[in-house]
A and B are shown apart, each in its own frame.
Chain A
């Protein structure tokens, strides 16, 4: 088994996490996939610089973050560089970095799914259309026959509700 075979195991363990992180940064599924792919390639090339193998998750997220920012700047799009915003993202992801011995990624993030399932129906619908079916806000207004303002408000309430639920479940509220 060569070093690439070993690295492939690390990649498989972390690719879902890294995709979620890249999606949070870019809000662009195609770009997020590219960022994840490039981050893993660069990660292998720089693996000797990683001092503590246990911190691979946080380290590969840093590489992905830098790649995402560079690409967003190149496309003249908003870049979430505020340190506190990034710190907030890291709080959530660091909760998933230390799994129990036989937990899968799905096990660890099921709290998010449960928070989503507890949303009221109207908020759940708009969340599903935006995040799962990649519809734009305008397309959602046409699908649900409601105003753009209503769609924006429902999305904002859904995000707040999931965040509040996840903060309680993940004990983030006191950080």
Chain B
């Protein structure tokens, strides 16, 4: 039990405060923490924009139906649906450009936002560049995206939030928060998948791995194949091989560790600190 007088403890507190003020004031670059926080908040705001008013057309603008036998229409509709479904599964459409991805599973609470409009998630629906997805944290199952042209499957864990884009003709996923599990084993030579978080960027040319964007770090676990990982704060990259993981965060050495060690403290100090941490 600590019997130090209260006045000594308060003095210790004042000393800590003054140390913080000293360290923040002199010889240091202005902090960018505020700008980064606002940037993140704007990205999250774009990904969860409110739904737009109903876009249903008024009654009188509907086209008139031509009077032909009912069964002919049913047969034609069934044929079109079969053909569209088959092509959609493989990422193509009867007209227009191929879909970037297809939604293969849609758990309750999943939100899909396109240009500020909420869409109703449906299995088989096209997911396009720029679309944002938010998986409900309370959901018990994953949402699943399939990138048909690259033969890549991405499982979106409950609570995860992401936005799709494209880089050099290949899909790029910006992970805003939460965890994704990726099966990229179908990628052909020359194809790759990029994933980004605020702290890091990962590039996979195959394999199976998971990527988690946490509060202050990004965790990459590789189960098969290898994934290149680099921090956004510096250009150096590492390759994380199968059965290894790495953590990207400010102040940490970016280095792979065995997955067997992942329950121990992985941190090592990137630069000298008065009190180095001791792993358990």
Contacts and interface: CB of A to CB of B under 8 A. Distances in A.
Interface of A: 4, 7-8, 11-12, 14-16, 18-25, 27-31, 33-41, 44, 67, 71, 74-78, 80, 82, 84-93, 109, 112-113, 116, 127-128, 131-139, 159-160, 162-163, 166-167, 172, 175
A8 B45 CA distance: 14
Contact of B16 (A24, A131, A134): A24
B275 A78 contact: yes
Contacts of B271: 134
B2 interface: yes
A138 B6 CA distance: 32
A35 to B, nearest CB: 8
Contact of B250 (A30, A67, A89, A91): A30
A14 B37 CA distance: 13
B36 interface: yes
Given A34-B216, A82-B2, A133-B27, A20 B13 contact: no
B168 interface: no
Interface of B: 2, 6, 9-28, 30-34, 36-38, 40-42, 45, 215-216, 249-251, 265, 267, 270-275, 277-280
Contacts of A8: 34, 38
B274 A136 contact: yes
Contact of B34 (A12, A80, A88): A12
A21 B41 contact: no
Nearest to A162: B18
B18 A92 contact: yes
B40 A41 contact: yes
Contacts of A18: 33
A166 B249 CA distance: 35
A30 B22 contact: no
A164 B97 CA distance: 71
Contacts of A30: 250-251, 270
27 contacts: A4-B38, A7-B38, A11-B37, A15-B33, A16-B24, A20-B20, A23-B20, A30-B251, A33-B250, A37-B34, A40-B34, A40-B38, A74-B265, A78-B275, A88-B12, A91-B14, A109-B25, A116-B26, A127-B22, A131-B19, A132-B22, A132-B26, A132-B28, A134-B271, A137-B274, A162-B18, A162-B22
Contact of B272 (A93, A128, A136): A136
Contacts of B6: 84
Given A4-B38, A116-B22, 17 more contacts: A19-B31, A20-B20, A20-B23, A23-B20, A34-B215, A41-B41, A88-B12, A88-B16, A89-B14, A91-B10, A91-B13, A91-B14, A91-B17, A109-B21, A112-B25, A113-B25, A139-B272
B13 A89 contact: yes
A114 B27 CA distance: 15
A7 to B, nearest CB: 7
B258 to A, nearest CB: 20
Nearest to A80: B16
A82 B9 contact: yes
Contact of B267 (A22, A23, A25, A75): A75
A35 B217 CA distance: 12
A163 B14 CA distance: 7
